[in-house]
Amino acid sequence: MADLNDQTKNVSIYPEGSTSPITSTPDGAKERLDVNVKGEVSLSSATDSLPLQVQYDKSFSAINANEWQDVAFYTVPTGYDYSISSFRAHSETAGETARVMVELTGATFDCLTNAFTDGSAFTAPQFGSGVYLKVTTQIGSGSNDVVTITYTNEVGVTGRTCVIEITKSSLVGTSIEGALQGDDIGVRDITNVTHSATGQAGAFKVDIYYSVFNMLLKESNTMYQAVSIAGSPITILDGESIALSVLAGTKTSYSRHLSLVGTLIPG
């Protein structure tokens, strides 16, 4: 080792195979190594990070049995990423499923005027794992409505379709998940919507989503927990929206508890 009081015994450090020594920079009475970093380095103090829980703990009656019901929403604030460590859920009734999704509204559609409005999309190479239709204005009582959703799939192929039938008189909040075409595993963008019951009252949106957690609640009044892989927490980025949802097996009112725990980290 170097003797700082005897300069004749100081040493130089050479990387293997190099004739150029590692340099140091004076810093008052001390010296420090020069480091040339490739890529990006972000340093923040522990006090910059904020623990955050997104929680739902109420009773509700599902709009329809065997449909996903969104019960809580959260959008990651500007300047932060949300690093998720665990998700917990329980229900008063057995056999339901709870999940956490990142979702965006891919399109809206007015049934009466047949007006399609384009929405947000995932940027390649990211994509959503599926779509679901959510009624925002009650559907008219004339006839069942067959909706054709045209989308771009996970590898950028356009003109793919997903068909969903909405029962006449469907209430606001009715949520119907669609099956993607062929072997598609994802959706980047919604490009068009058409329907069979032209001129009939009603409106809906088409959400694109991917699941972060998905748990089957086998027994009633039992707390289930899913955790992210050790050392690799799930990170939701600035501006992205999270939905906590329950696949309700019945329209009977039951109490459900869903809790998402993580940390807001400056982005």
What is the domain partition of the chain in residue ranges?
A: 47-266
Contact 119, 204 (CB under 8 A): no
Q: What pLDDT score was predicted for residue 227?
A: 84
If phi over 0 gives left and psi between -120 and 50 gives alpha, with beta otherwise, what is residue 179?
beta
Give the single-character DSSP code of 128: B
Q: What is the dihedral sign for C-alpha 166, 254, 236, 265?
A: positive
| Lookup: tokens for 126 | 């990211």
Measured between alpha carbons, how far is 241 from 260 in angstroms, rounded to an integer? 13
**Neighbour-count burial for 169-207, b at 16+ CB within 10 Å, e otherwise:** ebeeebbbebebbeebebbbbbbebebebeebebbbbbb
Q: What pLDDT score was predicted for residue 230?
A: 57
Q: What is the pLDDT along the chain (267 residues), one digit of tens a residue?
A: 445 455 545 556 666 666 666 665 555 555 555 556 555 555 544 458 999 999 999 999 999 999 999 999 999 999 999 999 999 999 999 999 999 999 999 999 999 999 999 999 999 999 999 999 999 999 999 999 999 999 999 999 999 999 999 999 999 999 999 999 999 999 999 999 999 999 999 999 999 999 999 999 999 999 999 987 655 788 999 999 999 999 999 999 999 999 999 999 997
Contact 40, 47 (CB under 8 A): no
